[in-house]
């Protein structure tokens, strides 16, 4: 039997679609089981990782640090859930676990418990291509073995892949390509770098952010490095439309620098079309910039970074150095087309709309293959 834990609303239809095609029944649980084991605790190394997840999520959300009382309460709860999961695995003869994201909270604990019993785990997550999903045995995004493959070097490129990607993003955002932008392009600086902000507590930051721990860190790094830019170039920061957590004070600090502007009204597509380059920790906007033939600087870990694809800033000093030579940043346009084509054809899987969708059977077969690998 396969097992999974309840996931966001958009994922439940996906589970229903693939269930009839999996080689074993998929049992979905709405909550973690709980079992008291008098005086027994989970392994110390597991608790260290669980505690780190809990503390990091609280920090990313800019909430008060966890108190010792809260930590003990969480430890007690997670310990009961840990033993509940181990008992469930044995009672139900669970042979594999499917998990959405799997990097924090209850799903992070589910992954830890499955690994402790050598039960295969398949990770699923949304991806930059609308109508597609990530699926991998090792993790998501840069943690995915699939997405870190170099197979794209042999991919025959679709010369129209950029147009396809731009159109798919317009469809996802519900943007009419013939409608005027929310803010006319002339309101943007003549020359600027587009710096999109990201969601607080997203695993892209909490797990893969590298030397940039959160968006305030990102804004501070931009503020310090922008003095190295050409005199006629500005930085345009766009807050994430669904998250302003913990960003207000950092945005106010950034606005004290005359080289930095914060613009919310213009669409991301309008920004991409008019910018000189994109600077991001590891936002999917960086990948989207490939479709606009724009240079990209990444500060964190991302599956789309690499020679010919992006420039990487591993420190504040490296970011400043890249800003000083911003006009000479380059990329391999053909390699990018190979990469985007490979993602569509092999790296990502199509998201099934229902059980009769051929994509449902294909995704189920991919999951079964990963489990048995």
pLDDT in tens, 79-124: 999 999 999 999 999 999 999 999 988 999 999 999 999 999 999 9
Give which of 272, 252, 274, 270 is closest to 262, Cα–Cα: 252
For residues 246 and 62, the answer to whether their CB atoms sit within 8 Å is yes
Residue 278 parent element (H or E): strand 277-280
- What's the pLDDT score for residue 60? 65
3-state SS assignment for residue 181: coil
Dist. CA 361–CA 79, nearest whole Å: 37
Dist. CA 270–CA 43, nearest whole Å: 51
3-state SS assignment for residue 28: strand
Q: What is the pLDDT of residues 313-361, one digit of tens each?
A: 999 999 999 999 999 999 999 999 999 999 999 999 999 999 999 999 9
For residues 231 and 255, the answer to whether their CB atoms sit within 8 Å is no
Dist. CA 61–CA 104, nearest whole Å: 14
Q: What is the pLDDT of residues 42-76, one digit of tens each?
A: 899 999 999 988 888 777 666 678 889 999 999 99
Continuous H helices in the chain: 12-18, 44-60, 68-92, 105-116, 161-173, 203-206, 215-225, 248-255, 268-274, 284-288, 316-324, 333-342, 358-372
Between strands 96-100 and 192-196, the pairing is unpaired
Dist. CA 287–CA 294, nearest whole Å: 10
pLDDT at 156 over 80: yes
Between strands 234-238 and 192-196, the pairing is parallel
pLDDT at 278 over 90: yes
Give which of 222, 188, 212 is closest to 323, Cα–Cα: 222
For residues 104 and 111, the answer to whether their CB atoms sit within 8 Å is no
For residues 28 and 15, the answer to whether their CB atoms sit within 8 Å is yes
Q: Could you tell me the residue ranges of all domains in the chain?
A: 2-149+348-372, 158-345
Q: What is the pLDDT of residues 216-252, one digit of tens each?
A: 899 999 999 999 999 999 999 998 776 665 567 677 7
Phi first, then psi: give them for residue 236, nearest 5 degrees.
-110, 120
pLDDT confidence tier of residue 199, bands split at 50, 70 and 90: confident
Give which of 369, 356, 317, 370 is closest to 19, Cα–Cα: 356
Using only the alpha carbons of the chain, give its radius of gyration.
22
pLDDT at 135 over 60: yes
pLDDT confidence tier of residue 178, bands split at 50, 70 and 90: very low
Dist. CA 111–CA 136, nearest whole Å: 13
Query: What are the structure tokens assigned to 188, written together?
Result: 């943007």
Up-side HSE of residue 59: CA atoms within 13 Å toward CB? 15
- What's the pLDDT score for residue 186? 52
Which residues neighbour 285 within 8 Å (Cβ) at sequence distance 6 or greater? 194, 196, 268, 272, 278
pLDDT at 40 over 90: no
Give which of 246, 266, 253, 191 is closest to 219, Cα–Cα: 253
Dist. CA 151–CA 143, nearest whole Å: 17
- What's the pLDDT score for residue 181? 47
DSSP 49: H
Average pLDDT of the residues in 264-277:
91
| First-to-final CA distance of the chain | 17
Dist. CA 144–CA 139, nearest whole Å: 5
Question: Buried b vs exposed e over 214-223: b needs ≥16 C-beta within 10 Å?
Answer: bbbbbbebbb
Percentage of the chain exceeding pLDDT 70: 92
Which superfamily is assigned to 158-345 in CATH? Glycogen Phosphorylase B; (3.40.50.2000)
Residue matched to tokens 């569509």:
344
pTM: 0.91
């Amino acid at each position: 039997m396969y097992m999974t834990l309840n996931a966001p609303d958009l994922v439940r239809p996906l589970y229903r679609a693939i269930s009839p095609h999996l080689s074993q029944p998929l049992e979905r649980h709405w909550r973690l089981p709980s079992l008291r084991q008098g005086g027994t605790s989970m392994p110390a190394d597991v608790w260290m990782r669980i505690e780190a997840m809990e503390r990091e999520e609280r920090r990313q959300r800019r909430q008060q640090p966890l108190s010792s009382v809260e930590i003990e309460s969480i430890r007690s709860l997670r310990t009961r859930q840990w033993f509940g999961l181990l008992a469930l695995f044995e009672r139900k003869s669970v042979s594999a676990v499917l998990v959405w994201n799997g990097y924090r909270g209850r799903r992070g604990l589910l992954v830890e418990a499955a690994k402790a019993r050598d039960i295969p785990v398949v990770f699923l997550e949304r991806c930059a291509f609308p109508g597609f999903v990530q699926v991998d045995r090792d993790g998501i995004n840069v943690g995915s073995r699939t997405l870190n493959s170099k197979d794209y070097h042999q991919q025959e490129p679709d010369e129209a892949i950029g147009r396809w990607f731009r159109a798919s993003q317009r469809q996802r955002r519900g943007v009419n390509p013939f409608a005027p932008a929310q803010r006319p392009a002339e309101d943007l600086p003549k020359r600027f770098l587009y710096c999109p902000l990201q969601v607080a507590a997203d695993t892209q930051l909490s797990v893969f952010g590298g030397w940039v721990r959160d968006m305030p860190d990102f804004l501070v790094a931009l503020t310090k490095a922008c003095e190295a830019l050409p005199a006629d170039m500005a930085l345009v920061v766009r807050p994430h439309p669904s998250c302003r957590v913990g960003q207000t004070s950092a945005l106010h600090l950034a606005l004290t620098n005359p080289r930095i502007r914060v613009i919310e009204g213009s669409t991301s597509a309008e920004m991409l079309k008019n910018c000189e380059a994109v600077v991001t920790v590891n936002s999917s906007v960086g990948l989207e910039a490939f479709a606009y033939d724009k240079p990209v600087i990444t500060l964190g870990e991302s599956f789309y970074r690499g020679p010919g694809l992006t420039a990487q800033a591993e420190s504040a000093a490296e970011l400043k150095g890249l800003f000083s030579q911003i006009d000479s940043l380059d990329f391999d346009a053909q390699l990018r087309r190979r990469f985007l084509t490979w993602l569509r054809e092999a790296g990502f899987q199509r998201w099934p709309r229902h059980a009769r969708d051929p994509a449902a059977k294909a995704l189920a077969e991919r999951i079964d293959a990963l489990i048995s690998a």
